[in-house]
Amino acid sequence: MTIRPRTTPPGTATAGSGPRPHAGTLDDVRDLLHDRELVVLTGAGLSTDSGIPDYRGPGSPSRQPMTFQEFVGGEAAQQRYWARSHVGWARMRGAEPNAGHRAVAALDPRLLITQNVDGLHEAAGSRRVVALHGRIAEVVCLDCRVTSPRTRLQERLAAANPDWLSRHAGAEARPDGDVDLEDTRDFDVPGCEVCGGVLKPDVVFFGENVPAERVARCYAAVDVLGPDGGALVVAGSSLTVMSGLRFVRRAAKAGTPVVIVNRGATRGDELATLTLDAGCSTVLPVLAQDAAQRVAT
């Protein structure tokens, strides 16, 4: 990739971005982040180019995720979740990191905070990662708390429902590794192999709290940045939920620059130093190449 000259006028919003607060250009972002230590916060918009849909991106249909209270409310909800997820996981497990994931790994920030559960940052080589909402590749028993690989549960689900995948091969993909299915009443959900209890993906559902130790580690990394030598970069998140927005608020309160790269407005735009209406797979590789050239010289 060749980095283009810095010719665009500062403060000009990207075409089609609308009147977002603090709108800037890619050149503005590059200038601001020059030689700064980074903490990067990513959301579902970073994985859309890997074929995983998001909840709130421009043009995304309205989707409501299952809440924790709904999941634990009864067998029918658990049956519905796992029936959909069984099909979705068969697809999601084949997803590959895209240019945005690889660029974040190359940037090697002080800390990568991701709201995604797909594990693609780790697959791309990122080292210091906090998966705020967990990883969908693991399963936890709500009774005995034993964790196990999702691949093992997938085998058990397939054995208990041998024609499910072929019957629903055309189902529309949804975020978080599931699909759109209406009638799931005949889906058989096995229990925990240790105690027979209820199995749940080891991720934070809506209505659950992010574990305190994860939040504390992220706060600590943001606090170190400061207004002079660091910056928080948000990539591919609408910041609709507090789990990510809290770090933007923390950085802004300390005077640390905040850059938000996202297709469409976000809940954190008013707190940002710069916003850029663009795709992560376009912007992040440029930032990574800037950093690589600084190291080389």
Query: What is the 3 state secondary structure string of 11-70?
Result: CCCCCCCCCCCCECCHHHHHHHHCCCEEEEEECHHHCHHHCCCCCCCCCCCCCCCCEHHH
161 labeled part of a ligand binding site: no
Torsion of CA 172, 136, 54, 40, to 10 degrees: -160
218 labeled part of a ligand binding site: no
93 labeled part of a ligand binding site: no
Dist CA 19 CA 1 (whole Å):
30
98 labeled part of a ligand binding site: no
50 labeled part of a ligand binding site: no
192 labeled part of a ligand binding site: yes
Dist CA 87 CA 13 (whole Å):
40
115 labeled part of a ligand binding site: yes
263 labeled part of a ligand binding site: yes
Dist CA 100 CA 285 (whole Å):
6
The residues annotated with a catalytic role in the active site are 133
What is the SS3 assignment for 149?
strand
237 labeled part of a ligand binding site: yes
Q: Are 214 and 246 in contact (CB under 8 A)?
A: no
262 labeled part of a ligand binding site: yes
Cα 272 to chain center, whole Å?
A: 19
281 labeled part of a ligand binding site: no
Tokens for 26, please give them: 């890619």
Residues of the binding site for Zn(2+): 141, 144, 192, 195
Residues of the binding site: 115-118, 141, 144, 192, 195, 236-238, 262-264, 280
Residues of the binding site for NAD(+): 115-118, 236-238, 262-264, 280
